[in-house]
Structure formats: C-alpha cells, structure tokens
C-alpha cells in the first residue's frame, strides 16, 4: 500500500552555482530500485523535500537520456528554496514523482521548433532541448531565444555555449536593457521584443515557451501578431502546488489541475483561463 505523500530518498551528488540565486542540484536516488524505476519525459516535475523544512515543485531540468541522475534547478525565493540552497553534496533530500504530463515530442516532429525562454524558465525547456538535440534529425529548423534580466542571470551557461557553437540550430541570447556587460556579444532587449525582431514564420512551426508570467503575456501577444494559432504554442505553467497528485486543489485552474493535466499545455487548452494565469 503506497503512501502517495511519502518521498523517496536521494543524495545530492553535485551542486552547480548558476547565478547569484540559482543552483542546479544533481540528484541520485539512494535505492537502486528507485533509480531504475524512475522513468520520466521532458516537462514532468518532482516534489523535492528539504527534510524538516518543506517540499516544493521543481521541473526536471535534465533529459531522460542523461542517465543515472536527475537535475533540478532551484531559485532561492523563500523558505523551502532557502533550505535547499543550504544543502551540500552528500546531503539527503526527498523526491516524489515524476508527476505531470510531458511535452508532446511526437506531435512536434518534423516541425520548426522555436524555444522562447526567460530566466529560470529555461529549466523545463532544457530537458526538452537536450532530448530534441539528441535526435536532431527528427525536427526541422530549431531556434532558441533565451534571455534574462542581466548577463549574470543567464542559466545553464555551459549549455548555452554548446548550443551557440552548433551550426544546426540557431541560438539567440538577450538580456534586458541595462543588463549587458561591456563584452556582451548577444542582443539587448526584452525577450518578446527580440522574438518580434526574429519574426519566425508561423507555418509549420511550433513554439515552446516558459518564463515569468509577464514575459509569457507579451510573448503570446507577439506570437499572435506573427500569425501563430493558440494550438501552435506550448507552454508549461507554474502554479503553487502542494500534493502534486490532483487532490489538494491548490493548482486547480478551470477544470484542469496543473499537476495532473499539466504542467504542459497548449494555449488552445488554457485559452479560456489565460487571463486568470498571465
């Protein structure tokens, strides 16, 4: 009889400092069975517990093809994330999951895929990007448009460098006006503005976006202007969650539960409640 609220133990194998308030934790399940049976798809999330502090929702930022471990990127914003940030390699955390639905990999095959990310919003996208790049030939053109408030706030700098060197994808990085450094070679401007500048064609394309609500709001407006239909835009919603399994009601929006019917949604699915979310 499984208690759905009880986490599995995992050890932090390494901690990477991404920015002044974001760390990426590499986690390995203690129990071998748990390690082998944890199967997930890009877009899914886990409930991570800092023992005696609390539990919070984090998307899995690594790809299924990154075997033997999972990665979660945690931005320090409150009590639980503060407690997680204080943990070192070797510490034990609790993991429940994987929960939620995942990005529709099959449905986006052979299309042009445009990733639009902001700040820590790159975390769930990274899982999909890594998976997509592992099967590059299944997709047409790939663009990654990613920005943060300032150069020092960009996450996954190693991945960004790698993506920029590849000639089979187009990576455009930007920082908000005022966030550039003297040697910054990328663009300067809010992500939605850069998106408008790049003006990707809507035909045969799909957009996958994640970032702060304000960025998504303007991104959706920009995409609308470029002729994208709601069904062509996929996003992953962040909402306060507690149980992660559709019972506590907190992530309920319309008839949907972000933890069960999401977190991945097309804009078509949530168009009735978009005002309520962004």
Contact positions vs another protein (CB under 8 A): 1-7, 49, 51-55, 77-81, 212-213, 238-240, 242-243, 245-250, 252-255, 260, 272, 275-277
119 vs 200: CA distance, rounded Å: 21
**Nearer CB in complex with another protein: 252/266:** 252
**Nearer CB in complex with another protein: 80/108:** 80
Closest approach of another protein to the CB of residue 130, in Å: 26
Q: What angle do CA 147, 150, 151 make, to 5 degrees?
A: 85
DSSP 3-state of 114: strand
Closest approach of another protein to the CB of residue 47, in Å: 9
Closest approach of another protein to the CB of residue 147, in Å: 18
Q: Are 173 and 186 in contact (CB under 8 A)?
A: yes
278 vs 221: CA distance, rounded Å: 12
180 vs 35: CA distance, rounded Å: 42
63 vs 232: CA distance, rounded Å: 23
80 vs 69: CA distance, rounded Å: 22
91 vs 8: CA distance, rounded Å: 14
Closest approach of another protein to the CB of residue 245, in Å: 4
**Nearer CB in complex with another protein: 160/258:** 258
Closest approach of another protein to the CB of residue 182, in Å: 30
**Nearer CB in complex with another protein: 185/240:** 240
**Nearer CB in complex with another protein: 21/138:** 21
DSSP 3-state of 202: coil
Q: Are 174 and 194 in contact (CB under 8 A)?
A: yes
Closest approach of another protein to the CB of residue 114, in Å: 25
256 vs 262: CA distance, rounded Å: 8
Closest approach of another protein to the CB of residue 201, in Å: 32
**Nearer CB in complex with another protein: 187/260:** 260
**Nearer CB in complex with another protein: 198/277:** 277
The separation between the first and the last C-alpha atoms of the chain, rounded to the nearest angstrom, is: 39
Q: Are 94 and 8 in contact (CB under 8 A)?
A: yes
**Nearer CB in complex with another protein: 213/225:** 213
198 vs 202: CA distance, rounded Å: 12
Closest approach of another protein to the CB of residue 188, in Å: 24
1 vs 6: CA distance, rounded Å: 12
């Amino acid at each position: 009889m499984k208690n759905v609220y009880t986490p599995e133990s995992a050890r932090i194998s390494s901690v990477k400092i991404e920015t002044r308030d974001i760390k990426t934790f590499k986690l390995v399940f203690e129990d071998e069975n748990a390690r082998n049976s944890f199967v997930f798809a890009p877009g899914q999330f886990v409930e991570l517990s800092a023992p005696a502090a609390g539990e919070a929702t984090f998307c899995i930022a690594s790809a299924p093809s990154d075997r033997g471990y999972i990665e979660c990127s945690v931005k320090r914003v409150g009590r639980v994330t503060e407690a997680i940030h204080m943990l070192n390699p070797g510490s034990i955390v609790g993991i429940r999951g994987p929960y939620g639905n995942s990005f529709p990999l099959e449905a986006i095959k052979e299309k042009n895929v445009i990733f639009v990310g902001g700040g820590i919003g790159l975390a769930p996208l990274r899982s999909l990007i890594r998976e997509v790049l592992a099967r590059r030939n299944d997709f047409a053109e790939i663009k990654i448009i990613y920005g943060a408030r300032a150069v020092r706030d960009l996450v996954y700098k190693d991945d960004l460098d790698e993506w920029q060197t590849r000639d089979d994808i187009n990576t455009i990085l930007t920082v908000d006006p005022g966030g550039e450094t003297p040697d910054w070679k990328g663009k300067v401007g809010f992500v939605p503005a850069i998106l408008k500048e790049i003006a990707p064609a809507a035909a045969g394309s799909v957009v996958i976006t994640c970032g702060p609500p304000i960025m998504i709001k303007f991104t959706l407006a920009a995409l609308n202007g470029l002729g994208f239909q709601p069904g062509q835009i996929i996003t992953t919603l962040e909402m306060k969650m507690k149980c992660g399994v559709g019972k506590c009601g907190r992530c309920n929006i319309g008839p949907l539960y972000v933890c069960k019917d999401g977190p991945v949604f097309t804009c078509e699915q949530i168009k009735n409640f978009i005002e309520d979310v962004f």
